[in-house]
Chains A and B, each alone.
Chain A
Amino acid sequence: MDFVFPNEVHVTWTVMIVLYPYITGLVAGAFIVSSLYHVFGRDELRPVARFSLASAFVFLCFATLPLLIHLGHPERAFNIMVTPHFTSAMAGFGYIYSAYLIVVVFEIWFVMRGDFIARARGTGLVALFCRAIVLFDLHEDDATRAADHRIARFLAGLGIPMACLLHGYVGFLFGSIKANPWWSTPLMFVIFIFSAIVSGIAVLVFHYVVVHKINGWKLDQACLRSLGRYLWGFMIIAVSLELLEILSIGYQQTEEWEVLAELIDRKLFVPYIVLQFLIFSLGPFLMLATIVLLRVRDRVHNVVLWLASVMLLFQVLLMRWNVVIGGQLLSKSMRGFTDYFPGLWEREGLVTAAVVFTMPFVILYVFHRVVPLFPPADPRPLDVEPTG
């Protein structure tokens, strides 16, 4: 019969703490895609390189919002940087986040300086804003472009370990909680990084296709096919790690497994087994395998890739939900489970979550109005070539 410690009837970390690792995952994933072009010279990804960097930036701007909404005293949030307690895994957050934000902001500045200058040469408030962004220096020639490129490439390279650190750290927050057998695994760090890359690529494909269809722009087929291959590869690694973790615990048949098996069977069967694995992992795996391994027409490829991306966005969201909420359903009495269902209108409810998640897309649209993120009609490469 179920017994839950009386303070565990109330779930402490709710929807906002599901959203937080989800958004930071999108940041890390989008940034990795950007770096595949800027650092690793994957030229076919140029159509999404600027967009992915801008996406990483706007998601990063909103990554802390769920945390602030969740904190009991958000006005004390800076205590985490003013009086950090370094034995806590969480104490590093402020520094890691700030350092990464600085790198991303500088990289955007160097990658898009030319575009800001072009816009700054016009008139009006936006032009004035762009002049301020480039520090009122509108000079640009081949030498400045080459210098911008060198610095941007360096920052993109520096950002890769920082993106991994930012998101791996989120996984570590959960993986280091020894009191919770559903969380306590060293693999959590790695699982979070790979699922972040999957969600980052998926959100780029989703957004890229939607924006191009709405505007009637031509899709870059080489770019989409490359994104499809990367998405398939990274999802295989991410899902394999998730399966490896649960299978190894199950195979060992430890004392913990008794209660975890019950957790999966009674509380997480639908969200974890049915939705996360059977529908939203196996489904996209087969879909992506089809378009990567078989010769399919561009139109079919793009539709399947887009659907698989949407499904993988849900898969990663489900993974976050099953980790964050699932872990709290299990009582530390190891004798029972509590229940949780999010409210609609409460402070950390579904409406708030929807608003928080929508805001980056709105800001991205505003960003695009200032500096075009998808310049299909412009034959001039907006970034200098990544080689050299």
Chain B
Amino acid sequence: MAGDHHTKLSRREALALLAAGPGLLLLRSGPLRAAGASGPADADPDWSSRNWGYAIDPAKCIGCGACVRACRAENHVPVGRFRTWVERYHVLRSGEVHVDVAPGPNHVFTADVGVPREEIVKAFFVPKLCNHCERSVCSQVCPVGATYTSPDGVVLVDSKHCIGCGYCVQACPYGTRFINPETHVADKCTLCYHRIRHGLQPACVQACPTGARLFGDLNDPHGMLTTVLSQRRYRVLKPEMGTHPKCFYLGLDREVV
């Protein structure tokens, strides 16, 4: 749950873990574990030593929308609002750039791209989500401190404290926040904090069939994310904003903002 940053297990959680024990044992050793993440059964999970980050490889994204649907199901995202979405880019011969997102709650792109196919010289997909910035402007402007950064580097919203003023929505340069029409508070991607605390991957990462989304600990020198970032070229969105995003885009085209 957003805003929940207890590090000890409650009695209910412990019972649930016992009940799901065999399954969790499989998950702990399988590919669904966060790169470098410690599971709840670890003796001393020091969460403040983590610094969760995210990488996206647009070249691998096929625009299937599975990530968006998984996020919506996992986090009960209201229809018409998005914690994550996928943008489709068409660069035309004239240099014009055509961008769209898939319509409807299922986020499935149609074949009709709205531009003449013979004019398209380049096409690609770009997933977007909260950048969990190191210097997050949304945290800066929140008048009551309801938006904060967890000890392991995830920008979260305390939905029980947020007054729903919308200042953070205006301040986010990436358009990733919205006022939830059901809860009337600010809402955004939490990197599925309730999952990653238990050593799982965010729902979008788990659902991606091509591995276009990578999640891991930036403090882990041997982790998958750190390794990829040391081997590939990448950039962040709107670096001029000074927000120091922790969502890294591998080999991103300059057309993307």
* B-facing residues in A3-59 (Cβ within 8 Å): 3, 5-10, 12-13
Q: How far is the CB of A175 from chain B (nearest CB, A)?
A: 12
Q: Is A351's CB within 8 Å of the partner chain B?
A: no
Binds A, one of B4-12, B39-47, B96-104: B96-104
Contact A90 B167 (CB under 8 A): yes
Contacts of A179 in B (CB 8 A): 137, 170-173, 241
Contacts of A6 in B (CB 8 A): 81-82, 85, 101, 175
User: Once bound together, how far apart are the Cα atoms of A67 and B98, in whole Å?
Assistant: 38
Q: Is A101's CB within 8 Å of the partner chain B?
A: no
Contact B144 A80 (CB under 8 A): yes
Contact A72 B179 (CB under 8 A): yes
User: Once bound together, how far apart are the Cα atoms of A71 and B143, in whole Å?
Assistant: 12
User: Once bound together, how far apart are the Cα atoms of A101 and B143, in whole Å?
Assistant: 20
Q: Known: A87-B140, A88-B142. Is A12-B163 also a contact (CB below 8 A)?
A: no
Q: Known: A8-B175, A83-B145, A90-B143. Is A335-B162 also a contact (CB below 8 A)?
A: no
Contact B161 A333 (CB under 8 A): no
Q: Is A133's CB within 8 Å of the partner chain B?
A: no
Interface centre among A6, A67, A85, A328 (most CB of B within 10 A): A6
Contacts of A372 in B (CB 8 A): none
User: Once bound together, how far apart are the Cα atoms of A76 and B167, in whole Å?
Assistant: 15
Contacts of B184 in A (CB 8 A): 72-73
Pairs across A and B, CB under 8 Å, 21 listed? A1-B114, A5-B128, A7-B169, A7-B178, A9-B80, A10-B178, A12-B178, A67-B165, A71-B164, A72-B163, A72-B185, A79-B161, A83-B144, A83-B161, A84-B144, A84-B145, A178-B137, A178-B241, A179-B172, A180-B170, A333-B257
Q: Which residue of B lies closest to A335 (CB)?
A: B99
User: Once bound together, how far apart are the Cα atoms of A91 and B82, in whole Å?
Assistant: 28
**Bitwise interface map of B from 76 to 88 toward A, beta carbon under 8 Å scored 1, else 0:** 0000111001010
Q: How far is the CB of A348 from chain B (nearest CB, A)?
A: 11
9 closest A-B pairs (Cβ-Cβ)? Answer: A72-B164, A5-B175, A72-B184, A85-B145, A90-B143, A179-B173, A3-B99, A12-B166, A79-B144
A-B contact count, CB below 8 Å? 128
Q: Could you say which interface size class chain A belongs to?
A: 35 or more
Which of B80, B140, B172 makes the CB contact (< 8 A) with A10? Answer: B80
User: Once bound together, how far apart are the Cα atoms of A77 and B163, in whole Å?
Assistant: 6
Which of B82, B165, B169, B173 makes the CB contact (< 8 A) with A90? Answer: B165
Q: Could you say which interface size class chain B belongs to?
A: 35 or more
Contact A178 B144 (CB under 8 A): no
Q: Known: A9-B80, A85-B142. Is A71-B163 also a contact (CB below 8 A)?
A: yes
Contact A332 B100 (CB under 8 A): no
Q: How far is the CB of A291 from chain B (nearest CB, A)?
A: 41
Which of B97, B144, B164, B173 makes the CB contact (< 8 A) with A332? Answer: B173
**Bitwise interface map of A from 267 to 287 toward B, beta carbon under 8 Å scored 1, else 0:** 000000000000000000000
* A-facing residues in B19-40 (Cβ within 8 Å): none
Contacts of A79 in B (CB 8 A): 144, 146, 161, 163
Contact A90 B162 (CB under 8 A): no
Contact B141 A90 (CB under 8 A): yes
Q: Is A89's CB within 8 Å of the partner chain B?
A: yes
Contact B166 A7 (CB under 8 A): no
* B-facing residues in A81-104 (Cβ within 8 Å): 83-85, 87-91, 93
Q: Known: A73-B184, A73-B185. Is A7-B81 also a contact (CB below 8 A)?
A: yes
Contacts of B172 in A (CB 8 A): 179, 332
Q: How far is the CB of A7 from chain B (nearest CB, A)?
A: 4
Contact B163 A332 (CB under 8 A): no
Contacts of A328 in B (CB 8 A): 170
Q: How far is the CB of B215 from chain A (nearest CB, A)?
A: 22
Q: Is B176's CB within 8 Å of the partner chain A?
A: yes
Q: How far is the CB of B172 from chain A (nearest CB, A)?
A: 6
Q: Is A177's CB within 8 Å of the partner chain B?
A: yes
Q: How far is the CB of B141 from chain A (nearest CB, A)?
A: 5
**Bitwise interface map of B from 195 to 218 toward A, beta carbon under 8 Å scored 1, else 0:** 000000000000000000000000
Interface centre among A73, A89, A335 (most CB of B within 10 A): A73
Q: Is A105's CB within 8 Å of the partner chain B?
A: no
Q: Which residue of B lies closest to A72 (CB)?
A: B164
Contacts of B183 in A (CB 8 A): 72
Contacts of B169 in A (CB 8 A): 7, 12
Q: Which residue of B lies closest to A13 (CB)?
A: B166
Q: Known: A12-B170, A87-B140, A335-B257. Is A76-B175 also a contact (CB below 8 A)?
A: no
Contacts of A12 in B (CB 8 A): 166, 169-170, 178-179
**Bitwise interface map of B from 132 to 175 toward A, beta carbon under 8 Å scored 1, else 0:** 00000101111111100000000000000111111101111111
**Bitwise interface map of B from 219 to 257 toward A, beta carbon under 8 Å scored 1, else 0:** 000000000000000000000011000000000000001
Contacts of B114 in A (CB 8 A): 1
**Bitwise interface map of A from 331 to 373 toward B, beta carbon under 8 Å scored 1, else 0:** 1111100000000000000000000000000000000000000
* A-facing residues in B83-138 (Cβ within 8 Å): 85, 87, 96-101, 114-115, 128, 137
